[in-house]
Copies of this chain bind each other. A is one copy, B any other.
Amino acid sequence: MPLMTLTLAPETAPKQTAAPADAAFGASVGEGLSERQQEVLGAVLKLMVAEGDGFSVAAVARAASCSKETLYKWFGDRDGLLTATVRWQASKVRMPKLPQDKLTRESLEAALTGFAQSWLTVITGDLSIALNRAAVSHAGSGKSRLGAIVLTNGPFAMRHRLEPLFEAGRAEGLLSFDQVDTACRSFFGLVVADTQIRALLGEDHRPDETEIQTISATAAAHFMRLYGRG
């Protein structure tokens, strides 16, 4: 599983105190963060998973064994710290490779199943849930771009990855749809359904690996029934 793989940047010195550029998408993993800084962000992630955005900056400093002053120098304020953490984590999520050779109905359905399985695994993970919780909270109180960042790296990223696959399937005569958008919507719905919102709302049950496998296969099969050709 290539998900959640951490690749360190080639040791960039933490020179400038200014905030990094505003890409929010497509940035490389390190993104100008020193190893020490990434350690700090890792500590923030742990705290977010454990306490869900309710932690204090002092707690971060304690957990990361660094001073509050350093945190403020590096990240500006609490929100900058949060934002950097979310962006850093988002940059670590890797999507599964999609088949580049000629598509068949079988390889397409298999790719969809794999994609669904990987997506569900990410989405139901503690980390993703914590991040989405924080983003949803902050999206409410105006201020803070957390919501937009997660939106970009969540649903939008999924669609961006899916669209070329669907287009390829259509070009190959395997799929049939008017707008890619609708197909994406249906696929997302069949795969995720109410799983994510239920998890965010604190439901105890989380699907295990075999359940995810079942759901993914069913979703892919259903999608092919709705949009497949021939």
Contact = CB atoms under 8 A, between A and B. Distances in A.
A82 to B, nearest CB: 13
A141 interface: yes
A155 interface: yes
Interface string A91-102: 000000000000
Contact of A202 (B130, B147, B190): B147
Band of interface residues on A: 35 or more
B194 A189 contact: yes
What's the number of copies of this chain in the assembled complex?
A: 2
Interface in A179-222: 182, 185-186, 188-194, 196-198, 200-203, 215, 218-219, 222
A52 to B, nearest CB: 3
A203 B151 contact: yes
Nearest to A198: B155
Interface stretch (A26-34, A70-78, A132-140): A132-140
Contact of A155 (B134, B155, B192, B197): B197
Closest 3 CB pairs of A and B: A52-B140, A139-B202, A189-B189
Interface of A: 51-54, 130, 132-137, 139-141, 147-148, 150-151, 154-155, 182, 185-186, 188-194, 196-198, 200-203, 215, 218-219, 222, 225-226
Given A189-B194, A189-B219, 11 more contacts: A53-B137, A54-B141, A132-B201, A136-B200, A139-B200, A148-B201, A151-B202, A154-B201, A186-B222, A190-B190, A226-B226
9 contacts: A52-B137, A53-B140, A132-B201, A137-B140, A140-B202, A155-B201, A185-B215, A186-B193, A196-B197
